[in-house]
Amino acid sequence: MLSDTAALFHHAGDNRTPLLAFNIITLEHAHAVLRAAEVAGQPVILQISENAARYHHGPAALIAACRVLAQTSTTSVSLHLDHVASVELLHLAADLGVSSIMVDGSRLPDQENIAFTKDSATWAHQHHLFVEAELGAIGGKGHPHTHGVRTDPAHAAAFVAQTGIDALAVAVGSQHAMTTRTAELDQALIQRLARSVPVPLVLHGSSGIADDALRLAVGSGIVKVNVGTLLNVAFTNAVRDTLAADLQQVDPRGYLGAARTATETAVLHLFHALIPTTAIDHGAGAHLTRPQSPPGPTDPIPTDEREAGDGAGLTAVPTAVPAEDARPCRRRRQQA
């Protein structure tokens, strides 16, 4: 069912479970993510970035398709516009059917970023949209920031107070577009940020983080886990393998179907890695066998299911999030 991002954040906070969000580019991505979420019995966010919108010559068609898929899904799904840097795209958001946006002013000097983010958040709140923003660019996106930049807790708290945002993406060691899981997170910094910042913390670039480190990050205070490249690695590898096995294949349903299945498997792996066994077993995926062995930190992003750990200390989120919980989220997740 189509849900609301604020409601999903509240349930993640109240139930101490991570909220998984996946950046999609194609309809096959969307199908794969929703199928995996349904099997796991967990809510999910479908994210369309400004770059993906540009690829499709505008966001409307892809978001409309995702909206239909969300409405017919058996799990709770919200729609999100990601890394919105243009005012033009921002002002389309209210009519597109998304319930949240990530405002990206990280290319701007600090004071300009604050002003842009504050103005964007004010407009978005007037249109009942949940707002995420970023202070200190996450590596790998070509921003003019030194590699290894980290978010300062005091600066982060001031940024939230000055802008009025609802969630904050933090720079703690991850990088966008990593195809191996070797990035190292500053877990102590995550804990300090969680104590200092009064809104939920978001981790971008999660595809490059090993399962154990992701679980620790959630335990340290990360609420929303953003994933994009993981989907593309699984998808592209399956296309390559399928075409290499049959050089005469011309029907796109053959290789795109294989890519969709591989992407679903990779997404389901993350649900198994970050959501505890009890939560999975109480969801739609109770009949599934858990994966068997975790990938190492230098392994490529998995395209098959492997044992991902217990996710100790987490509890289940209801598959269908009640509409009455769609209220503004202005507090961080309570720490264990």
pLDDT band at 185 (very low <50, low <70, confident <90, very high): confident
Is the pLDDT reported for residue 263 higher than 60? yes
State phi, psi for 180 to the nearest 5 degrees: -125, 160
Pair 79, 46: CB distance under 8 Å: yes
Is the pLDDT reported for residue 322 higher than 70? no
pLDDT band at 61 (very low <50, low <70, confident <90, very high): very high
Active site residue 212: no
Highest mean pLDDT among 13-22, 37-46, 272-281: 37-46
How far apart, in Å, are the Cα atoms of 264 and each of 22, 37, 75, 247, 293? 11, 9, 15, 25, 18
In a domain, 54, yes or no: yes
What are the residues facing 167 on neighbouring strands? 132
Per-residue pLDDT, 257? 97
Three-state SS for 186? coil
Per-residue pLDDT, 250? 93
Residue 275 and residue 295: Cα distance in Å, rounded? 17
Pair 171, 138: CB distance under 8 Å: yes
In a domain, 298, yes or no: yes
In a domain, 308, yes or no: yes
Mean pLDDT of 180-190: 71
Highest mean pLDDT among 34-38, 111-115, 278-282, 289-293: 34-38
In a domain, 330, yes or no: no
Q: Is the pTM of this model over 0.75?
A: yes
In a domain, 333, yes or no: no
Mean pLDDT of 24-49: 96
Pair 196, 156: CB distance under 8 Å: yes
Token reading at 268? 């389901």
Question: In the chain, count of helices (H) and strands (E)?
Answer: 13, 8
Per-residue pLDDT, 183? 60
In a domain, 178, yes or no: yes
pLDDT band at 56 (very low <50, low <70, confident <90, very high): very high
Residue 160 and residue 162: Cα distance in Å, rounded? 6
Report the CATH number that the domain containing residue 168 is assigned in CATH.
Answer: 3.20.20.70
- Provide the Cα torsion 204, 207, 320, 79; round to 10°: 50
Three-state SS for 301? coil
Q: What is the DSSP string of 93-153?
A: HHHHT-SEEEE--TTS-HHHHHHHHHHHHHHHHHTT-EEEEESSPPBTS--SS-TT----H
Q: Show the domain range for 34.
A: 5-325
Who wins on pLDDT, 190 or 180?
A: 190
What's the whole-number average pLDDT of the chain? Answer: 81
If one counts every other C-beta atom within 10 angstroms of the C-beta of residue 60, the result is 14
Who wins on pLDDT, 111 or 301?
A: 111
In a domain, 315, yes or no: yes
Per-residue pLDDT, 14? 85
Residue 155 and residue 161: Cα distance in Å, rounded? 10
Percent of the chain with pLDDT over 70: 74
Q: How many domains does the chain have?
A: 1
Mean pLDDT of 186-194: 89
Per-residue pLDDT, 135? 80
In a domain, 332, yes or no: no
Out of 4, 82, 104, 152, pick the active-site residue. 82
Mean pLDDT of 290-311: 36
Is the pLDDT reported for residue 198 higher than 70? yes
